[in-house]
């Protein structure tokens, strides 16, 4: 199974989605590789953004498109300011 397939299967099994760090830690795939795969895959999309506690930054929560679904557009990032 490729790393992309592992990430997609993990996200399909995680109904609330996951951020890049969670995917990386759960699968033992380096964070930079996870970032590249989620950015380039049409089967993975950003479902929502959550604010990091105390940092003022937002983290993307990724989800995987179901096997019978077409691709879904990413949720736009929150407005700055």
Q: Where are the domains of the chain?
A: 3-64
Contact predicate 58/77, CB 8 Å: yes
Q: Are 60 and 45 in contact (CB under 8 A)?
A: no
The tokens of 2 are what? 């490729």
Strand partners, 63: 45
CATH of domain 3-64: 1.10.10
Q: What is the pLDDT of residue 68?
A: 80
Confidence of residue 80 (pLDDT cuts 50, 70, 90): confident
> If you average pLDDT over every residue of the chain, what do you get?
92
First vs last C-alpha separation in the chain: 42
Give mean pLDDT, residues 20-47.
96
Selection from 59, 52, 47 nearest residue 14 by Cα: 47
The pTM of this model reads 0.89
Other Cβ atoms closer than 10 A to 58: 14
């Amino acid at each position: 199974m490729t790393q992309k397939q592992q990430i997609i299967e993990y996200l399909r099994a995680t109904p609330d989605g996951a951020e890049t760090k969670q995917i990386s830690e759960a699968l033992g795939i380096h964070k930079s590789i996870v970032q590249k795969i989620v950015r380039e895959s049409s089967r993975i999309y950003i479902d929502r953004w959550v604010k990091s506690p105390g940092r003022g930054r937002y983290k993307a929560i990724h989800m995987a498109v179901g096997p019978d679904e077409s691709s879904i557009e990413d949720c736009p990032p929150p407005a700055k300011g």
